[in-house]
Structure 1
Amino acid sequence: MDWKLELVIMPVTDVDRAKKFYADQMGFTVDVDFSSGPSFRIVQLTPRGSACSITLMAKPEAAGSVQALHLVVSDIEAARAELVERGVDVSELFHHGDGGAEVTGPHPERIKFGTYMSFSDPDGNGWLIQEVPAE
Structure 2
Amino acid sequence: MTETTYALEVVVLPVHDVDRSLEFYRDKVGFPLDVDYAPSADFRVIQLTPPGSSCSVQFGTGLTDAAAGSAPRMHLVVADIEQARDELTARGVDVGEIRHKTPLDTWAGALAPGVDAARRDYASFAEFADPDGNTWVLQERGHPSA
TM-score by length of 2: 0.87
1:68 partner letter = R
5+ residue gaps, structure 1, are none
Q: Say which of 103, 106, 112 aligns to 2:121.
A: 112
SS, match of residue 19 in structure 2 = helix
Q: Say which of 122, 127, 138 aligns to 1:129.
A: 138
SS, match of residue 14 in structure 2 = strand
Contact 2:121–2:143 (CA<8 Å) still a contact in 1? no
* Equivalence for 1:25: 28
* Equivalence for 1:101: 110
Q: Distance in 2 between matches of 1:61 and 1:111?
A: 36
Counting matched residue pairs gives 135
Structure whose alpha-carbon radius of gyration is higher: 2
**Offset, 1:105:** 0.7
- Answering whether residue 46 of structure 2 is matched by residue 43 of structure 1, we say yes
Structure 1 stretches of at least 4 aligned residues deviating more than 4 Å after TM superposition: none
SS, match of residue 65 in structure 1 = coil
Alignment RMSD, CA only?
1.4
SS, match of residue 36 in structure 1 = strand
5+ residue gaps, structure 2, are none
SS, match of residue 82 in structure 2 = helix
Q: Distance in 2 between matches of 1:112 and 1:125?
A: 24
Q: Distance in 2 between matches of 1:2 and 1:61?
A: 28
Q: Distance in 2 between matches of 1:23 and 1:47?
A: 9
Contact 1:6–1:51 (CA<8 Å) still a contact in 2? yes
1:4 partner letter = A
* Equivalence for 2:11: 8
1:102 partner letter = L
1:62 partner letter = A
Identical positions, percent? 46
Going from structure 1 to structure 2, the CA distance change for 1:134 and 1:110 (only over 3 Å counts) comes to: closer
